[in-house]
Amino acid sequence: MSTRREMKETEPVETLRVMTESPVRTGLNRHEVDCSECGGHFYVDDATYDRIAEALAVDPAGVPYVCQECEDVEES
Ligand SMILES: [Zn+2]
């Protein structure tokens, strides 16, 4: 008897903390940003860039962007 279950792919929960950056410019990631932690240059897509611009508009002195690698360090 087969007990194979259907594995449903869990969709990633979209939060403000989830950012998809790439080290090189791509079709979608065409906005250059600097990580305020490590100073690295990354390219982000329109949606991510909008969030950064929004955050800067609210608090120009705040931290505009932290790359995923630095965020992971903070969380652990
Ligand atoms: Zn970083």
pLDDT digits (tens, 9 = 90+) for 32-58: 999 989 999 999 999 989 988 888 899
3 state DSSP class of 41:
strand
Per domain, the residue ranges of the chain are 21-75
Q: Model confidence over 20-35: pLDDT tens digits?
A: 889 999 999 999 999 9
Distance 30 CA to ligand 1 centre (A): 18
Beta-bridge mates of residue 42: 33
Contact 29, 20 (CB under 8 A): yes
Greatest distance between any 2 Cα atoms in the chain: 62
Distance 14 CA to ligand 1 centre (A): 20
Distance 7 CA to ligand 1 centre (A): 34
Distance 34 CA to ligand 1 centre (A): 8
